[in-house]
């Protein structure tokens, strides 16, 4: 692995753990405002992002490099509404997609083929994550402020099952 790809992956490890922390902050806001189903969904998502960080962490170690962890950005804790939470979640996923694309481009330029193979998984994952969150935002826009529909949607999100196996490459 080249030094610049190694550095960029280290940054992405912090980005994934940052996304995990950010989802946890979103879960806290939702549960404080009694959207318990949303809180459940966001806690699961936080755990998934933790898994993404670990997957890259494991990859660097498997390539016989030392992982030097970077600082995690402080997440936003203030939201204006539950829709705002999920709109920001979508923006966050779109930002992560851009980060992964940039990382893949760098690995391609530097001909780090093992990193390209590893990052393929993340590119596919981002398509799925953006799609999922975009659908949730769409549903919130549909129900608007109707309390009964909001409760239904909250219940639906509360039914999210845990991932069967962690995508940590272990
Ligand atoms: Fe992720
Ligand atoms: Fe994500």
**Which pLDDT tens digit goes with each residue over 10-45?**
999 999 999 999 999 999 999 999 999 999 999 999
Select from 55, 75, 67 the least CA-distant residue to 6: 67
* CA 71–ligand 1 middle distance (angstroms): 17
* CA 49–ligand 2 middle distance (angstroms): 6
* CA 24–ligand 2 middle distance (angstroms): 12
**Which pLDDT tens digit goes with each residue over 75-108?**
999 999 999 999 999 999 999 999 999 999 999 9
* CA 32–ligand 1 middle distance (angstroms): 25
Tokens matching residue 133 = 């969150």
* CA 159–ligand 2 middle distance (angstroms): 19
Q: Is pLDDT at 169 greater than 60 in this prediction?
A: no
CA angle 135/76/153 to nearest 5° reads: 30
Q: The whole model's pTM is what? A: 0.94
**Which pLDDT tens digit goes with each residue over 50-69?**
999 999 999 999 999 999 99
Cα 151 from Cα 35, distance rounded (Å):
8
> Which ligand is nearest the CA of 89, by number?
2
Rounded to the nearest integer, the mean pLDDT of the chain is 95
């Amino acid at each position: 692995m080249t030094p610049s790809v190694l550095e960029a992956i280290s940054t992405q490890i912090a980005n994934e753990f940052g996304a995990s922390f950010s989802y946890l902050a979103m879960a806290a806001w939702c549960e404080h405002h009694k959207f318990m189903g949303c809180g459940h969904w966001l806690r699961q998502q936080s755990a998934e992002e933790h898994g993404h960080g670990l997957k890259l962490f494991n990859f660097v170690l498997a390539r016989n490099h030392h992982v030097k962890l970077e600082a995690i950005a402080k997440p936003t804790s203030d939201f204006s509404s539950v829709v705002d939470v999920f709109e920001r979640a979508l923006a966050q996923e779109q930002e992560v997609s851009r980060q992964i694309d940039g990382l893949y481009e760098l690995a391609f330029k530097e001909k780090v083929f093992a990193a390209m193979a590893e990052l393929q998984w993340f590119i596919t994952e981002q398509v799925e994550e953006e799609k999922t969150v975009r659908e949730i935002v769409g549903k919130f826009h549909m129900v608007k402020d109707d309390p009964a529909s909001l409760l239904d949607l909250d219940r639906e999100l509360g039914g999210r099952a845990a991932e069967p196996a962690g995508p940590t490459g272990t």
